[in-house]
Structure 1
Amino acid sequence: MPNEPLEREILRPLWKVHILFHAQEGPIVGHWMLEELREHGYRVSPGTLYPLLERMVQLGWLERVGAKGRRAPKDGRPYRATAAGRRALREVEARLRELIREVHAARKR
């Protein structure tokens, strides 16, 4: 049985990092992102992902684009990272790098 608190409290927030990473590379669509997250072992459903994408639009991190995304032509909801989304991703990357350095240093002791 999966560890629900781990999934809900720690892993699920990482979905946003994955989304921002791919959306800053170019337009993404929900179906492609769903499969990408699943490939990384996340337990995600469309009923969870699409509201998350819309929340990220509301927060100003993603925007919808007019043309279909290059990831999955059948899916008509392409998104890309905004300037604010790219800044948020850089901030998260910096903090993750700092944490990883700290963890590695502690393990060497």
Structure 2
Amino acid sequence: MQDPDKTLAREVLLAFWKVHILHHAATRPVHGQWMITELRRHGYDISPGTLYPLLRRMERLGWLKSKTDPRGGKRARKDYRLTPAGARILVQLRQQIRELYAEVVAEANA
């Protein structure tokens, strides 16, 4: 039987993490360790082994663009910035989150 917390993370929270990453990358460049700290501040227990592949995937999708200091060596920090395609995705997500909130949260509290 699967661990319910792992199933939740795999099936739902991964999408929340992506929204957080896009949101923060829209305001300033982000890097992995900062993003781990920020996500943990919101209660998400994410490991580097989960986050870094996620950042690479979002870059392959064209949502983020990374920049590495060429003088930093093999383990140089990568800064990720939102791309125009990522900005369009973020606009869509914000609208869908508003609709979802209105239906799932606001109606439940009414």
Common fold: TM-score over 0.5: yes
The number of aligned residues is 103
**What is the alpha-carbon distance in structure 1 between the residues aligned to residue 55 and residue 15 of structure 2?**
12
Equivalent residue in structure 2 for 1:105, among 92, 104, 107: 107
Could you tell me the TM-score, scaled by structure 2's length? 0.83
Within 5 A, what are the aligned runs for 1:65-80?
A: 65=67, 76-80=77-81
Contact 2:21–2:35 (CA under 8 A) maintained in structure 1: yes
Structure 2: stretches of 5+ with no match in the other structure: 70-75
**What is the alpha-carbon distance in structure 2 between the residues aligned to residue 66 and residue 8 of structure 1?**
29
| Residue in 2 that maps onto 1:71 | none
Equivalent residue in structure 2 for 1:9, among 11, 29, 46: 11
- Say if 1:94 and 1:84 are closer, same or farther in 2 by CA, change over 3 A: same
Alpha-carbon RMSD: 2.2
Cα deviation digits, residues 78-107 of structure 1 (max 9, x gap): 010000001101101000101111221354
Contact 1:64–1:80 (CA under 8 A) maintained in structure 2: yes
Contact 1:60–1:85 (CA under 8 A) maintained in structure 2: yes
Cα deviation digits, residues 27-80 of structure 1 (max 9, x gap): 11111001111111111111111111011110000001356xxxxxxx611010
| Over 4 Å off, 4+ runs | none
**Identity between Structure 1 and Structure 2 (%):** 50
Tell me which amino acid in the other structure corresponds to 1:54: R
**What is the alpha-carbon distance in structure 1 between the residues aligned to residue 108 and residue 43 of structure 2?**
27
| Residue in 2 that maps onto 1:85 | 86
Q: SS of 1:65's equivalent?
A: strand
Tell me: higher relative CO, structure 1 or 2? Use CA pairs within 8 A at least 6 residues apart: 1
The worse-fitting range, judged by mean Cα deviation, of 92-101 and 6-15 is: 6-15
